Amino acid sequence: MFLFSPPVVFYSGRGYFTSAYKGLRSGFLNIDVPIALGILVLFLRSTIDVIFDLGPGFFDSLTGLVFFLLVGHFSQQKTYSFVSFVGDYKSLFAIAVARILADVIDDSAQG
């Protein structure tokens, strides 16, 4: 697991490190700072555990954390691209009101 985790941390997690670095450099504390810090601390702690034979480390938890963060990011991107539309919610509000009123008028005409 020790050999498989550096690509996960430094390749798959590089977006979090880059975003955290850019945020800190501009003086802005974004959500990627604690995520990157957590990934880095977990990797360093697990590496120290393996090198000094203190235990097996937490590389499986580390790779699972990065995996689920990336799955969440992917699903967030897909949802945003599906939901995004031209205009704002007010442009759709009139259509919804017109539809509800048309249903009420049709029901009252039949009753």
Q: Is the dihedral of CA 104, 108, 109, 111 positive or negative?
A: positive
Which residues does 30 contact at the CB level (< 8 Å), separation at least 6?
19, 20, 23
The whole domain housing 13 covers: 5-84
Q: Is residue 94 part of a domain?
A: no
14 within some domain: yes
Contacts of residue 85, defined as CB under 8 A and 6 or more positions apart, other chains included, come to: 92
Q: How many domains does the chain have?
A: 1
Does a structural domain hold residue 78?
Answer: yes
- Overall pTM > 0.95: no
Q: Is 27 among the domain residues?
A: yes
Q: Give the pLDDT confidence of 55-76 residue by residue, as tens digits.
A: 999 999 999 999 999 999 999 8
How many Å apart are CA 14 and CA 88, to the nearest integer?
Answer: 33
Residue 18 lies in a domain: yes
Inside any domain, residue 9: yes
Question: What is the pLDDT, as a whole number, of residue 68?
Answer: 97
Percent of the chain with pLDDT over 90: 62
